[in-house]
Amino acid sequence: MSTSTVCLHHLFEEHRALEDYQSGVPRWCKGCGDNAILAAVQRLCRDEGLKPEKTVFVSGIGCSSRLPHYMRTYGFHGIHGRALPIAEGVKLARPDLHVFVNTGDGDCCSIGTAHWIHAIRYNMNMTVLLHDNHIYGLTKKQASPTSPLGTRSNTTPRGSYLDALNPLTVTLGVQNVSFVAQAVDWIPEVLFQIVTAAFRHRGLSFVRILQRCPEFVGNMFEPWVHDPQKTLMLSHDDGIQLSPALQKIYRNQERHDPANIDRAREVASIHDPIPVGILYRNPAVPCYEDLRHAGMLRTADTVRLALDAEFDKFTVWP
Residue ranges that bind ligand SF4, judged by CB under 6 A = 28-29, 32, 34, 63, 133, 137, 213-216
> 23 vs 235, which CB is nearer to ligand SF4?
23
CA 173 centroid distance within chain: 18
Closest CA to 33 of 187, 258, 238, 185: 185
Instruction: Please choose which of Mg ion, ligand TPP, ligand SF4, none residue 61 contacts, taking the beta carbon within 5 to 8 angstroms, the exact cut-off set by kind.
Output: ligand TPP
Hey, what amino acid is at 301?
A: D
Apex CA 191: angle with CA 188 and CA 192, to 5°? 85
Instruction: Please choose which of ligand TPP, ligand SF4, Mg ion, none residue 275 contacts, taking the beta carbon within 5 to 8 angstroms, the exact cut-off set by kind.
Output: none
Closest distance between ligand SF4 and the C-beta of residue 137, in Å? 3
Instruction: Using DSSP, state whether 174 is helix, strand or coil.
Output: coil
Hey, what amino acid is at 256?
A: H
Give the whole-angstrom CA distance, residue 222 versus residue 232.
16
Binding to ligand TPP by residue 131, rule CB under 6 A? yes
Give the whole-angstrom CA distance, residue 280 versus residue 261.
6
> 108 vs 180, which CB is nearer to Mg ion?
108
Instruction: Please choose which of Mg ion, ligand SF4, ligand TPP, none residue 214 contacts, taking the beta carbon within 5 to 8 angstroms, the exact cut-off set by kind.
Output: ligand SF4
Binding to ligand TPP by residue 80, rule CB under 6 A? yes
Q: State the DSSP code for 228.
A: G
Give the whole-angstrom CA distance, residue 175 versus residue 137.
31
Contact between 32 and 24 (Cβ < 8 Å): no
> 145 vs 258, which CB is nearer to ligand TPP?
145
Give the whole-angstrom CA distance, residue 267 versus residue 257.
11
Give contact residues for Mg ion (rule: CB under 5 A): 104-105, 133
Closest distance between Mg ion and the C-beta of residue 255, in Å? 32
Binding to ligand TPP by residue 62, rule CB under 6 A? yes
Span 143-182, contacts to ligand TPP by CB under 6 A: 144
For ligand TPP, which residue of 28, 74, 136, 179 counts as binding (CB under 6 A)?
A: 136
Residues engaged in binding ligand TPP (CB under 6 A): 61-64, 80, 104-107, 131, 133, 135-139, 144
